[in-house]
A and B are shown apart, each in its own frame.
Chain A
Amino acid sequence: DAGVTQSPTHLIKTRGQQVTLRCSPKSGHDTVSWYQQALGQGPQFIFQYYEEEERQRGNFPDRFSGHQFPNYSSELNVNALLLGDSALYLCASSSADWIPHTEAFFGQGTRLTVV
């Protein structure tokens, strides 16, 4: 089991550009959540996808969008990049029937630098 995989591991973009990050969930998981970890902060919830739909969204602007594919993998898209979007982006996978005592699994993250 490869666990949660994210690509790419590092990315450098210029302000105003658009970026796509990818995530493959752990085998058997159907729910993908995205988090942003800015310097000095804990991971912040961006949104969650289940059955190819956005199920819940955190306090992020519409420049942040996502997609989930039939194989449960997911993409995070950020448009019109700002310097403040520089962060580590984490993907977490879980199953829809995520009962209290089970855990969510995280990928290693994608480090995005906006210059």
Chain B
Amino acid sequence: ILNVEQSPQSLHVQEGDSTNFTCSFPSSNFYALHWYRWETAKSPEALFVMTLNGDEKKKGRISATLNTKEGYSYLYIKGSQPEDSATYLCAFRPDTGFQKLVFGTGTRLLVSP
């Protein structure tokens, strides 16, 4: 059974704070690791797709790192803004030849002004 875990479950920070979340996934049969940002009543929005050990990706104030050997990825948000409030999901894509994604339960971020 493939298990993807995210921590913390929820986070409440003040505007301007920097924060980070963790995604743990199986270290075997790795194909890709996806991060999604999901605002209420909207579609999950793809942030990053990470494929190589040591990958670092950045989009504006958000960045992510990947360690496939130990099975974890970190998502960082620098200088959080209220519009960053959302649930951040990670999804592990195993190397099974198919396109199934295995999701964590997400980290719910609330940024107060």
Smallest CB separation, B55 vs chain A (Å): 10
Chain A residues touching B, range: 20 to 34
In the complex, chain A residues whose CB is within 8 Å of the CB of B32: 100-101
In the complex, chain B residues whose CB is within 8 Å of the CB of A44: 103
Smallest CB separation, B24 vs chain A (Å): 13
Smallest CB separation, B86 vs chain A (Å): 14
**Is A63 close to B, CB under 8 A?**
no
Contact of B46 among A31, A41, A105 (CB under 8 A): A105
A-B contact count (CB 8 A): 65
User: Considering the chains assembled together, what is the distance between the CA atoms of A56 and B89 in angstroms?
Assistant: 22
Contacts A90-B44, A108-B41: A103 and B98 contacting too (C-beta < 8 A)?
no
Query: Quick one: closest A residue to B105, CB to CB?
Result: A42
- The answer to whether B46 and A103 touch across the interface, beta carbons within 8 angstroms, is yes
**Is B11 close to A, CB under 8 A?**
no
Interface string of A76-115 (1 = CB under 8 A from B): 0000000000000010101000101111111111000000
User: Considering the chains assembled together, what is the distance between the CA atoms of A41 and B99 in angstroms?
Assistant: 20
**Is B13 close to A, CB under 8 A?**
no
- The answer to whether B102 and A45 touch across the interface, beta carbons within 8 angstroms, is yes
In the complex, chain A residues whose CB is within 8 Å of the CB of B4: 42
Secondary structure of the A contact surface, majority rule: loop
- The answer to whether A108 and B51 touch across the interface, beta carbons within 8 angstroms, is no
**Is A21 close to B, CB under 8 A?**
no
Smallest CB separation, A17 vs chain B (Å): 25
Interface string of A3-28 (1 = CB under 8 A from B): 11000000000000000000000000
Please give the residue numbers on chain B whose beta carbons come within 8 Å of chain A beta carbons, in ascending order.
Answer: 4, 6, 31-32, 34, 36, 41-44, 46, 49, 51, 89, 91, 93, 96, 98-106
Question: What are 16 A-B contacts defined by CB distance under 8 Å?
Answer: A42-B6, A42-B89, A42-B91, A43-B101, A44-B103, A45-B101, A56-B100, A100-B32, A100-B93, A101-B49, A102-B49, A103-B34, A103-B49, A104-B34, A104-B99, A106-B43
Please give the residue numbers on chain A whose beta carbons come within 8 Å of chain B beta carbons, in ascending order.
Answer: 3-4, 31, 33, 35, 40-45, 48, 55-56, 58, 90, 92, 94, 98, 100-109
